[in-house]
Structure 1
């Protein structure tokens, strides 16, 4: 009985013997039931330990990837906010300049109007 992947550890005694290959002289039928049970328990224990190690590794990698992603997103958002603040300041400065120009224009028109009124009164 063989697992789907040749890299996967075997969980049964028969599969373990099969994986060891023909060069190893091992006859599982000569083992007592207690020895077979013990071997089966050891194989299961080792596979379980390896699976637990792999699960921990995956969890660590996921946590690191999540932290990296959060860091990149925070940095990107911060850069976008800085850009928006700069753009807002530029718009504010342009608005102030435009207001000053409009005020100056209004003052000039008021002066012209006053001069025109003076001329009309003199005439």
Structure 2
């Protein structure tokens, strides 16, 4: 179980990883068109899925689904599914395996190393 300091470091490293990874993935589609599908939601809904398709010349569109929750601070994305694969489920499996094998500190070190690698490779910078 993570202590308060570990939770803080883990959250920060994971946030940096998500921003860099997502920015990198979006950059790969910079020349593509994004098609936002009509949102079917009621004004009272607090949980919606925004469907987007990346249109690629000569290839099948890539579906991206943003699962969003309405909070007091506004709408927040809590999961992204690309081609039917959940980012949350993918990271959960990976992190559980790492924590089982190396503990919380091991996971923090791995995330930190991935962040340094992405930064060195020119990944998006956290503002």
Please, what TM-score do these two structures have when normalized by structure 2? 0.24
* Rg (Cα) greater in structure: 1
Normalized per residue, the structure richer in helix is 1
| Larger relative strand fraction | 2
TM-score by length of 1: 0.25
